[in-house]
Amino acid sequence: MNISTALQFVLLPAGAVAVAGLARWRGWPTPLLLVLVGLIVGLIASHFPGLPAYELDPDVVLLVFLPPLLYSAALDSSYLRLRDVRRPVGLLSVGLVLFSAAVIGLVAHALIPGLPLAAAFALGAIVAPPDAVAAVAVARRLGLPRKIITILVGESLFNDATALTAYRVAVAATMGHGAGKLQPFWQVVNPLWQFLYAAGGGLVIGLLLAYAFGRLFSRVRDALITNTVSLLIPFVSYLLAEAVHASGVLSVVVVGVFLGHRMNRTTYGTRVVSYSVWKVLDFFLEIIVFVLIGLQLPLILQGLRGQNPWQVAGYAAAVFAAVLVARFLWVIPGTYLPRMMFRGIREREPKPPAAHTAVIGWAGMRGVVSLAAAFALPAGFPDRDLLLFLTFTVVIGTLLVQGMSFPLLIRKLGVSSDHEVYKDNLSEAAAQQAAAAAALARLEELTSEGVIETHAEVVDRLRNNAERRAMGAWERLGGGVGPEGEETPSALYRRLRRAMLEAERSVLVRMRDERRIDDEVLRRVTMELDYEEATLARE
């Protein structure tokens, strides 16, 4: 690798970090600014041949970027909340994707002369799923109610499995038809079987890996080893599922949700390091992804030379409109009709406010997965360059139009999570009180049983600190044993406090499982306990 090539690898992330830093400093929406800067830089670079061009490699996106971003979002999700909204998430991640693919495919087939119906459905499958990266990046900063965030994130986590399976079926049908070859029965004649196999295989592989890694993490106490292994989990899950033609996306999501729910069974060091590792990795990968989206414009425009620009613009506007309309055509009936038809749903799920339905209907931003799928269309695919451009305009259009108007829509509709913040504060206070009571009870139990001998005298703070410093050398040599073989005061304190912390964690997890507190409250309080235990380890 020469110096010029090495600089290209450095320039992209360095520039992305600089733009993201500016956006965070000024309070601007980071994803939108990164896309806009990518568009501008891409257009400028197209007029200067000496500047590097960054062409999106679909294999890099699907194998390098997608698995860790999906895994991190799943790890941070709440299994209990996802279980509560499994019906709307299923309607969006499966039903809406297939409905959108059909609507968009029919519109494209009707408008673009000579475009085969199967190829049009491939376009529909490409642009049908909202992107997990965009959904998480926007939802994190808008203060939406927790249920809406759970639905949107859950949809974006699971819909790629549906879309990519439909995409493979449509591409196989198109290429088979165009080449005059008969495709295998299970690939074309029975796409439902292929979908069920991909989903079922991804689910089974994900559960098996989740169980295996869960057992491993409960036994390995080394935080560095555990977190290093966790960096490999999304790639192992994705590649293993894809190797047997199952859904790698679903496998990664299942493992992430399962391990995230059982994170309390790992060590405090694992949790503390994991939070920092995935936060940094998320930020780094997300900013590169959004810049890469904008940088693709010159490369895509090169494939449209010779075509009527007004005609192409009309196709793009029609497909973009179909994307927006199809979502509302599904979301509104899907929200209210089941409640009208089934009493059980009405009793379990109260009718949501119209404002919440409007927010979910307007939240379908597309992202880099759609672009990667479009770039992965094989050579010789009908109207490949045009379909790539249409995908790009849908991605940019949804990111800019919906992304920029989303905060305004939320403010106008008065949708907020203020009542949830107040409720969380109350439940956190109650949880802290219950945890503290359990810790004190555990301390009384330990001392009353005589398991731990306590010092009768009360040592003032200065004398205690001096004694702890004096015993520090012995503790480092003897693991908490003094020169006469007795347990040192600081070792005793750490042992007692660790037992109290473990009692507090047990109460908090039980309250989470009983639905008395939310996963976010559990994570917040557990993080405080983990930091305290980390300071104990350093004393």
Q: What is the pLDDT of residue 241?
A: 93
What is the CA angle 133-135-137, rounded to 5? 65
Q: What is the pLDDT of residue 18?
A: 92
User: Could you state, in order of their start, the residue ranges of all structural domains in the chain?
Assistant: 3-416, 421-538
Where residue 183 falls among pLDDT bands split at 50, 70, 90? very low
CA–CA dist 140, 207 (Å, integer): 27
Mean per-residue pLDDT for 345-361? 87
Q: Residues 6 or more apart from 399 whose CB is under 8 A from it?
A: 31, 32, 35, 134, 293, 365, 366, 367
- Residue of 142 and 300 predicted with greater confidence: 300
Mean per-residue pLDDT for 508-527? 85
Q: What is the pLDDT of residue 429?
A: 67
CA–CA dist 265, 215 (Å, integer): 10
Cα R_g (the chain), whole angstroms: 27
Q: What is the pLDDT of residue 111?
A: 93
213-235 pLDDT, tens digit each: 999 998 888 889 999 999 999 99
Average pLDDT, the chain: 81
Backbone angles phi and psi of 498, in degrees to 5? -65, -40
239-277 pLDDT, tens digit each: 999 999 888 989 999 999 999 998 888 888 888 888 889
94: which 2 tokens? 């499966």
Backbone angles phi and psi of 33, in degrees to 5? -65, -40
144-169 pLDDT, tens digit each: 788 888 898 888 888 888 888 888 88
Q: Using the 8-state DSSP alphabet, how is residue 263 labeled?
A: G
Q: What is the pLDDT of residue 275?
A: 86
CA–CA dist 250, 74 (Å, integer): 10
190-206 pLDDT, tens digit each: 566 777 888 889 999 99
508: which 2 tokens? 């908090």
Where residue 136 falls among pLDDT bands split at 50, 70, 90? low
* Amino acid code (one letter) for 452: I
444-475 pLDDT, tens digit each: 676 665 544 444 332 233 344 444 444 444 44
- The correct CATH number of 3-416 out of 3.30.365.10, 3.40.50.2030, 1.20.1530.20, 3.10.580.10 is 1.20.1530.20
pTM: 0.79
Q: Residues 6 or more apart from 131 whose CB is under 8 A from it?
A: 156, 365, 366, 367, 368, 369, 370
268: which 2 tokens? 């405090």
Question: Which stretch of 9-13, 43-47, 240-244, 359-363 has the lowest confidence by average pLDDT?
Answer: 43-47
- Which residues are registered as beta bridge partners of 481? 487
Q: What is the pLDDT of residue 185?
A: 40
CA–CA dist 100, 117 (Å, integer): 15
